Amino acid sequence: MSALYFVGIDPGLVHTGAVSMALDPQAKGISIAYRVIEGNYQALQAQSFCELVAAAAGSVRPTIYVETYRERGTGYNTNQKMRELLVELKTKLPRHAEFLDNMGVKKVVRQPLLNAFGLTGFPTTHHKDLESAARIMLLGMLKNEQSNLLLATALNDMLEGQSWSIYGPHAK
């Protein structure tokens, strides 16, 4: 099995976080990249990030998970802008991108799991957008049988002392 590629996106009005992870079970390697997206054209910038990941993946189609927005009564203007951003993301990102509710994500994707896969130590953003993007990516991976098995295999190897190399901005 060659490397599999995953992307997590956490949309936000101030910052949108985008995180990618490539897992290569043969080389026992994990590659991580991220981008803080801010300002105008956030959907276009998220699209660009996904295209860069797709180019790196070659013939393997990256799996993309996007955190969906739940209205929490924070105000009509905020809710409307977030709805517009999500609509724009749905039109710019590939059709296969999955939009996931983040309800309970912190109870499922806990800090030790983020640590194990090198998905920590991101730069500070408005709402920890990069960490949230990593969490939504891992949540989507856990919900998929194939990627769940890949995560379990990698984690089991790590627990048994077989190290996986982590490459990227937070390499240990």
Going by C-beta distance under 8 Å and a sequence separation of 6 or more, which residues neighbour residue 138? 8, 109, 113, 114, 117, 119, 151
Query: CATH homologous superfamily of domain 4-167?
Result: Ribonuclease H-like superfamily/Ribonuclease H (3.30.420.10)
pTM reported for the whole predicted model: 0.93
pLDDT-derived band at 75 (thresholds 50, 70, 90) equals low
Q: Among all chains, which residue has been given the structure tokens 């089991």?
A: 156
How confident is the model over 2-53, as pLDDT tens digits?
899 999 999 998 999 999 999 999 999 999 999 999 988 999 999 999 999 9
How confident is the model over 80-99, as pLDDT tens digits?
888 899 999 999 999 999 99
How confident is the model over 140-159, as pLDDT tens digits?
999 999 999 999 999 999 99
Q: What are the extents of the domains in the chain?
A: 4-167
Dihedrals phi, psi of 31, to nearest 5 degrees:
-115, 130
Going by C-beta distance under 8 Å and a sequence separation of 6 or more, which residues neighbour residue 151? 23, 117, 138, 141, 142
pLDDT at res. 80: 85
